[in-house]
Chains A and B, each alone.
Chain A
């Protein structure tokens, strides 16, 4: 039974995309990865509009003081089990903005992050590879609650 559930979780990751103060480059690349050219629906990946429907939270951008409470709230709104993917250099480390006066991030300072996808911006291939690594992590955890 737990094997079936793990299988279903790996085969059907639904994304929710949150921009926590990004320059939009990572967002454009994420949307590029979701176009028919890369056809991520082969792996069951869909972009959902509501965090309540999603399994994977994709965060782009440095987390600034404005978006900090929103990011926390959206993370809490997602049903367990959930995965967080930090997309882009800013989300993983803060990048060139890491010493800015209004920075509350990077993402792993605020919420637990499972997979980091560096790059400014990362290529769509790298994004798909990152999501696949996140799914391998579910396989390793056997779908247990984090």
Chain B
């Protein structure tokens, strides 16, 4: 018999953390991206409320379903994107504890993180627009090229900690220091940063939605509230990817001791710093690089980045400290 208290608390957790906190942090991180880009171009940039204004405006606009679209699929794809990224955020430990932890949560999160791209592909192909079709095809090729090095890089912390649970990987790093300070961990970090850029479809890998070539790729026909859901999913995805990299390689997002206020404060500060470091690296790559041609990007992933990931995987077996 399921306790009603547990059900109520779980629903409260999902609503509070998943639907209120995660999108707001995600939108704040997108603002950091836009502001940093503006400062790099010597301009002032958007005010801090800009992402919220964009989302509220899109939510208030008219929803158009094109005649050529498959109605149900077209309407459900953005919901799928947002729901999967929020679930990924809920499963991952954010301040060291999550009620949803289970054996194998790393695998589930890796799967959930590829869902927004799949949702964009589903929605794009359901919209019946030729530009969307080209975008879907590019997105698919990009997924095929980055998933292999991504999983190889994610295997490095899994093999080091000998566990498929986030909590175990974080505890291993609490004992032995963050994995990014080892050679294999650093190589895995480099791979993950590049894959992160492709997963978020940011330059130099914004090939699927290249604005100057195919307008907006899979999102071409989306308007109003549905586009707002995709924007929110993208914002939460920014947070999810930063949390994933921090948990796997940067020592984890954890408050190590809940009894002392000093430790809680310093650890919360460390959590913010870790997420911001990942986000700022992504912003620098995004604003200092032009878009790669599809074949260049796929070649880069299959040759260079897969090679680095394989090297990291092999080095992680070397039984010497700092390897």
Chain A contact residues, CB within 8 Å of chain B:
4-5, 7-9, 11-12, 36-37, 39, 41-42, 44, 48-50, 52-53, 55, 77, 79-81, 143
With an 8 A cutoff between CB atoms, is B223 at the interface? yes
Asked whether A50 lies within 8 Å of B54 as measured between CB atoms, the reply is no
B43-62 vs A, CB cutoff 8 Å, 1 = contact: the mask equals 11111011011101100111
CA distance A99 to B44 in the complex (A): 45
Asked whether A39 lies within 8 Å of B224 as measured between CB atoms, the reply is no
With an 8 A cutoff between CB atoms, is B272 at the interface? no
Task: Describe A's contact surface by its main secondary structure.
Answer: loop
Please tell me which one of the listed residues A5, A53, A81 contacts residue B56 in the complex, with CB atoms under 8 A apart: A5
- Residue numbers in B under 8 Å from A143 (CB-CB): 60
Asked whether B42 lies within 8 Å of A36 as measured between CB atoms, the reply is yes
Asked whether B211 lies within 8 Å of A39 as measured between CB atoms, the reply is no
CB distance from A30 to the nearest CB of B (A): 16
Asked whether A8 lies within 8 Å of B60 as measured between CB atoms, the reply is yes
Nearest residue, chain B, Cβ from A80: B62
A and B contact pairs by CB, cutoff 8 A, 11 listed? A5-B60, A8-B54, A8-B60, A11-B49, A11-B53, A12-B53, A41-B46, A42-B47, A44-B46, A49-B216, A81-B61
CB distance from A35 to the nearest CB of B (A): 9
A7-B53, A12-B54, A36-B41 are contacts. A79–B63 as well, Cβ < 8 Å? yes
With an 8 A cutoff between CB atoms, is B222 at the interface? yes
Please tell me which one of the listed residues A48, A50, A55, A80 contacts residue B57 in the complex, with CB atoms under 8 A apart: A55
- Residue numbers in A under 8 Å from B43 (CB-CB): 36-37, 39, 41-42
Additional A-B contacts beyond A11-B57, A50-B220, A81-B61 (19; CB < 8 A): A8-B52, A11-B53, A12-B54, A36-B41, A39-B38, A39-B43, A39-B45, A41-B38, A41-B45, A44-B47, A48-B216, A49-B212, A50-B216, A52-B221, A53-B223, A55-B57, A77-B64, A80-B61, A81-B62
With an 8 A cutoff between CB atoms, is B215 at the interface? yes
Asked whether A79 lies within 8 Å of B56 as measured between CB atoms, the reply is no
CA distance A39 to B227 in the complex (A): 25
With an 8 A cutoff between CB atoms, is B286 at the interface? no
CA distance A12 to B49 in the complex (A): 10
Asked whether A8 lies within 8 Å of B215 as measured between CB atoms, the reply is no
- Residue numbers in B under 8 Å from A4 (CB-CB): 56
CB distance from A124 to the nearest CB of B (A): 14
Nearest residue, chain B, Cβ from A143: B60
